[in-house]
Amino acid sequence: MFRIALTGLCALAVWLGFPDHSYISFADQFYLNFSWYALIGLVIGGWPLFEEAWESIRKRRMTMELSMGIAVLAAAYTGYFFVALIITFFVLIAEVLEGMTLERGRRAIRDLMALLPSEVQLRRDGQVVTAGIGEVTPGTLVVVAPGARVPVDGPVVSGNSFVDESRITGESMPVEKIAGSYAYAGTVNQSGAIEIRAERVGRATSYGQILETVEEAERSRAPVQRLADRLAGYIVYVALGFAAFEYWITGGDVNSTIAVIVVAGACGVAAGTPLAILGGIGRAAQMGAIIKGGVHLETLGKVDTVVLDKTGTLTFGRPEVSHVLPAEGITADELLRAAATAEALSEHPLGKAIIAEAASHGVTPLPVSGFSYEPGRGIKASDAEGAIYVGNAAWMTANGVGAVPEEGAFVGTRVFIAREGRLLGHVVVEDKVRPEARQAVEKLRGMNIDVQLLTGDTAQVARRVAADLGITAVEAGLLPTEKLQRIKAIKASGRTVAMVGDGVNDAPALATASVGIAMGSGTEVAREKADIVLLGNDLMRFAETVHLARRTRKIIWFNFAGTVTVDILGIAAAMAGWIGPVEAAMIHTGSELAFILNSARLVPGQTMANGFKSFGKSIQGWGSGSGAGLASKRPAAEHGPH
Ligand SMILES: Nc1ncnc2c1ncn2[C@@H]1O[C@H](COP(=O)(O)OP(=O)(O)OP(=O)(O)O)[C@@H](O)[C@H]1O
Ligand SMILES: [Zn+2]
């Protein structure tokens, strides 16, 4: 601030002292214009600029600071102290305003993630005690009073309440929590006290993961960011090249030469691109999609094909056994016992359904001695009586079980149970389609995205679900490796494909897709392999994230195109002599601020109007009231991300 004022004052002094210097020769002008305050203003005001320019020379990088430094020195050297000072003045102002926008953007995202409580209430030996968050470990019982923020992830064990989860899932309606519901750190308890058994603490919580991703995203660089830096470098070369040309054809006209150098700005893309990506990641996090790096946001913006898995993604993945069909001479309980015994260690939704069904019949599984899972087919487990096979028809055939019964009238996934080559019967399992899936598919379609369904389930079940959702491209009966092959084939045809899945069987496909998305309820390995993790299971959030990614890309490309256009027009105008160095400096700083503000629109809770408002405030802070008019232009209707 002091530097800016000093530079401005010095420029003013030079201007007042020598208002007209157009018809004096170079040498005379140098001595006429020279004054101690001009020198002081330049050295002190220009110091940060020269420092950065020198840094660029040492690192052999073409930067904006370098070209501006050259322009300032050239102006001073040829005696145009006023010009040198005024360019410095604008550079300093731009730097402060840009720094403020970027800082505000980062802060807005951090504010989103206001810190977790440092003190918590624990239940210890039946007593509620206050303790530091550091004392909470998985298993600890945490009591959350109404109005307090939930400090851990974990299931609710007692009490009931409504919790505001908007910070975590983007869902604006409070969600009811009763014993058995899952509570997330960072959400706010609204009505009653609840007791939670801590499962994940600190950085391991969903909330901690959001923080980590945003921090990671700040450090990582998306390819488009490198492109932005390269573009900025090229613009400097081009500007210097044209400046040399201008100097030559005008026979050494310093004014227009300097104007050419000064007019070409590129900080709008160099600083605006990372800000846009950061803003996009922050906004996605607020909507409940954790993007693990800028590159994935960029890729998602290019996606033209979305592949969806069925179980757990389009359906609840909480299937229920609808029919138990034992073979001749076997009772339903015997069938369920064998099935539940085999599935005891299974993570598969079908396995869980079977165990639940067995339990509801009072059937308990027997101890198992061996367990192996063949993704996409079924499992093999051994109990005291020998091996049990549970899985689809192909799995039965593969394990020497004779023909399975014809498909009955029941619609659902059939799971067969066999013991040592003998079929004990099968169960039919039904899963419900998620209501929001239909809407999400529609929205994706509306964005001109090709939507496909790939599943390990049978064609009959797959077709029914697809018909329900309006999906026409369906492939069923796929093994995990076949899912992966399909993704590879889609990619090879030149498409950018997003795969959404949840299961162990989806993990290879998730890792292979251009961008992999795991459902919140997905298995650990799916969440690990995915590039984007949804916090909830709402596919609509995914569709919205795709929309956001496209918007981010548009803003970035608009800034690219705008920067190049302004620079070309500016260089042409400067070469024609229509604008002088002072106008050039104004165009340079003005345009890049506009592009940075354009990016700032993506930052959560920030709009273009808000951006102007903050500038209004900061300008007011300097003693001028000019910002108030801009601030009042804020549109009446402002929408958050949903
Ligand atoms: N643990 C299991 N218990 C019983 N059957 C299984 C098990 N795992 C797989 N299967 C059988 O293999 C088929 C394919 O399984 P996979 O996990 O690949 O797909 P899915 O869960 O049916 O559907 P999606 O591919 O849409 O997630 C299942 O439909 C089921 O018949
Ligand atoms: Zn600049």
Segment 454-476, tens digit of pLDDT: 998 888 889 888 988 889 899 99
**Catalytic amino acids?**
309
Phi/psi at 226 (5° precision) = -65, -40
Last residue of a domain, one of 150, 185, 204: 204
If one compares 302 and 148, the residue with the highest pLDDT of the two is 302
- 381 assigned to some structural domain: yes
Is residue 25 pLDDT above 60, yes or no?
no
Is residue 374 pLDDT above 50, yes or no?
yes
Q: What is the mean pLDDT of the chain?
A: 82
State the pLDDT at residue 317. 77
- State whether the beta carbon of 315 lies less than 6 angstroms from ligand 1: no
Say which ligand is closest to the CA of 501. Answer: 1
Say which ligand is closest to the CA of 268. Answer: 2
Q: What is the CA radius of gyration of the chain?
A: 32
576: CA distance to ligand 2 center in Å?
A: 22
- State whether the beta carbon of 309 lies less than 6 angstroms from ligand 1: yes
Is residue 379 pLDDT above 90, yes or no?
yes
State the pLDDT at residue 517. 94
State the pLDDT at residue 58. 84
Q: Which two tokens stand for residue 596?
A: 């940075």
Nearest-angstrom CA–CA distance, 182 and 185: 10
State the pLDDT at residue 109. 66
Choose the weakest-confidence range: 32-36, 192-196, 284-288, 463-467: 32-36
If one compares 4 and 544, the residue with the highest pLDDT of the two is 544
What is the percentage of the chain residues whose pLDDT exceeds 70?
86
- 276 assigned to some structural domain: no
State the pLDDT at residue 279. 87
User: Which CATH number do you get for residue 374?
Assistant: 3.40.1110.10
If one compares 592 and 517, the residue with the highest pLDDT of the two is 517
State the pLDDT at residue 628. 31
Say which ligand is closest to the CA of 587. Answer: 2
Choose the weakest-confidence range: 13-17, 341-345, 405-409, 610-614: 610-614
Q: Which two tokens stand for residue 204?
A: 């391991």
- State whether the beta carbon of 536 lies less than 6 angstroms from ligand 1: no
If one compares 625 and 116, the residue with the highest pLDDT of the two is 116
State the pLDDT at residue 618. 41
DSSP 36-53: HHHHHHHHHHHHHHHHHH
- Residue 504 CA, closest ligand 1 atom number: 17
3-class secondary-structure state, position 93 = helix
Of the ranges 49-53, 309-313, 572-576, the best mean pLDDT one: 572-576
Tell me 149's DSSP state: B
| Protein residue with least CA distance to atom 31, ligand 1 | 392
- 306 assigned to some structural domain: no
| Protein residue with least CA distance to atom 10, ligand 1 | 378
562: CA distance to ligand 1 center in Å?
A: 51
User: Which CATH number do you get for residue 192?
Assistant: 2.70.150.10
Of 636, 632, 633, 639, residue with least CA distance to 604 = 639
Is residue 319 pLDDT above 50, yes or no?
yes
- 333 assigned to some structural domain: yes
State the pLDDT at residue 510. 92
Nearest-angstrom CA–CA distance, 271 and 601: 14
- Residue 393 CA, closest ligand 1 atom number: 31
State the pLDDT at residue 19. 44
Residue with tokens 């102290």: 81
Is residue 417 pLDDT above 90, yes or no?
yes
- The gap between the terminal CA atoms of the chain, to the nearest Å, is 39
State the pLDDT at residue 571. 93
- Residue 312 CA, closest ligand 1 atom number: 27
Mean pLDDT of 504-532: 88
Mean pLDDT of 495-517: 92
Beta bridge partners of 130: 121
Of 497, 540, 501, residue with least CA distance to 518 = 501
Is residue 233 pLDDT above 60, yes or no?
yes
If one compares 619 and 318, the residue with the highest pLDDT of the two is 318
Task: Kindly report whether the global pTM for this prediction surpasses the value 0.90.
Answer: no
Last residue of a domain, one of 430, 447, 464: 430
Q: Given CA atoms 612, 618, 622, 625 in this order, what sign does their dihedral have?
A: positive
Residue with tokens 């109990």: 383
Are 277 and 297 in contact, with CB atoms under 8 Å apart? yes
- State whether the beta carbon of 319 lies less than 6 angstroms from ligand 1: no
Of 333, 330, 226, 232, residue with least CA distance to 277 = 226
Of 237, 240, 257, 238, residue with least CA distance to 577 = 257
| Protein residue with least CA distance to atom 27, ligand 1 | 311
- 537 assigned to some structural domain: no
Is residue 340 pLDDT above 90, yes or no?
yes
40: CA distance to ligand 2 center in Å?
A: 23
Last residue of a domain, one of 204, 220, 241: 204
269: CA distance to ligand 2 center in Å?
A: 9
Is residue 49 pLDDT above 60, yes or no?
yes
Of 376, 317, 378, 392, residue with least CA distance to 343 = 378
- State whether the beta carbon of 279 lies less than 6 angstroms from ligand 1: no
Q: Which domain holds residue 625?
A: 607-642
State the pLDDT at residue 416. 95
If one compares 473 and 213, the residue with the highest pLDDT of the two is 473
State the pLDDT at residue 111. 66
pLDDT in tens, 519-578: 877 787 888 889 998 877 789 989 999 999 999 999 999 999 999 999 999 999 999 889
Surrounding residues of ion ligand 2, Cβ less than 5 A: 64, 265, 267, 592
3-class secondary-structure state, position 531 = coil
3-class secondary-structure state, position 590 = helix
Residues in the chain: 642
State the pLDDT at residue 225. 84
DSSP 182-200: EE-TT-EE-SS-EEEE--B
350: CA distance to ligand 1 center in Å?
A: 7
Nearest-angstrom CA–CA distance, 168 and 592: 34
- 260 assigned to some structural domain: no
- Residue 462 CA, closest ligand 1 atom number: 26
Say which ligand is closest to the CA of 466. Answer: 1
- State whether the beta carbon of 516 lies less than 6 angstroms from ligand 1: no
Is residue 372 pLDDT above 70, yes or no?
yes
Is residue 611 pLDDT above 50, yes or no?
no
**Domains: count for the chain:** 3
Q: What is the 3-state secondary structure (H, E, C) of 317-336?
A: CCCEEEEEEECCCCCHHHHH
State the pLDDT at residue 270. 83
- 458 assigned to some structural domain: no
Pairing mode of beta strands 305-309, 497-501: parallel
State the pLDDT at residue 641. 31
Laid out side by side, the sheet with 413-419 consists of 320-326, 422-430, 413-419, 386-391, 378-383, 370-374
Are 263 and 570 in contact, with CB atoms under 8 Å apart? yes
Residue with tokens 């001009």: 38
3-class secondary-structure state, position 639 = coil
What is the percentage of the chain residues whose pLDDT exceeds 90?
31
- 54 assigned to some structural domain: no
State the pLDDT at residue 28. 56
Is residue 66 pLDDT above 50, yes or no?
yes
Per-residue burial over 612-622, b = 16 or more CB atoms within 10 Å of its CB, e = otherwise = bbbbbeebeee
Of the pLDDT bands very low, low, confident and very high (cuts 50, 70, 90), residue 198 is very high
If one compares 394 and 202, the residue with the highest pLDDT of the two is 394
- State whether the beta carbon of 351 lies less than 6 angstroms from ligand 1: yes
Tell me 313's DSSP state: I
CB-based burial label for 608 (10 Å; 0-12, 13-18, 19+): middle
State the pLDDT at residue 626. 31
Is residue 612 pLDDT above 80, yes or no?
no
Can you tell me the ipTM of this complex?
A: 0.90
Are 183 and 196 in contact, with CB atoms under 8 Å apart? yes
Q: What is the amino acid identity at position 445?
A: R
3-class secondary-structure state, position 605 = coil
Nearest-angstrom CA–CA distance, 523 and 278: 28
- State whether the beta carbon of 413 lies less than 6 angstroms from ligand 1: yes
Are 41 and 11 in contact, with CB atoms under 8 Å apart? yes
